């Protein structure tokens, strides 16, 4: 599984796909999720990534679980639709 921390290890092709998708992300929530993945791949802990993004570490763990279960497309799909008013 990951490098020295064991959180995440991305191959070069997947890392480039994530970087490209992050550059093209129009929603800040997607940008945050992708940034977290890239930082975890660079041996940041979930706590460090959470601190940088202003979210709780549990959120980072949830995103990581979602990525592992549903892949990149699943991570980039926002389920919450908001109040229809």
pLDDT tens sequence across 5-36: 567 889 999 999 999 999 999 999 999 999 99
- Crossing angle, helix 28-41 and helix 46-53, to 10 degrees? 150
pTM score: 0.84
Residue 47 lies in a domain: yes
Q: How many domains does the chain have?
A: 1
Residue 3 lies in a domain: no
Residue 58 lies in a domain: yes
**Domain of 50, in residue numbers:** 17-75
Residue 1 lies in a domain: no
Are 44 and 27 within 8 A, CB to CB? no
Residue 32 lies in a domain: yes
Residue 11 lies in a domain: no
Residue 68 lies in a domain: yes
Residue 57 lies in a domain: yes
């Amino acid at each position: 599984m990951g490098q020295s921390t064991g959180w995440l290890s991305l191959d070069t092709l997947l890392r480039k796909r994530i970087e490209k998708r992050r550059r093209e992300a129009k929603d800040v929530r997607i940008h945050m999720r992708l940034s977290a993945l890239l930082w975890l791949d660079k041996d940041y802990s979930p706590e460090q990534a959470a601190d940088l993004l202003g979210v709780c570490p549990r959120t980072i763990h949830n995103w990581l679980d979602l990525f592992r279960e549903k892949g990149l497309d699943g991570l980039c799909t926002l389920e919450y639709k908001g109040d229809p008013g």
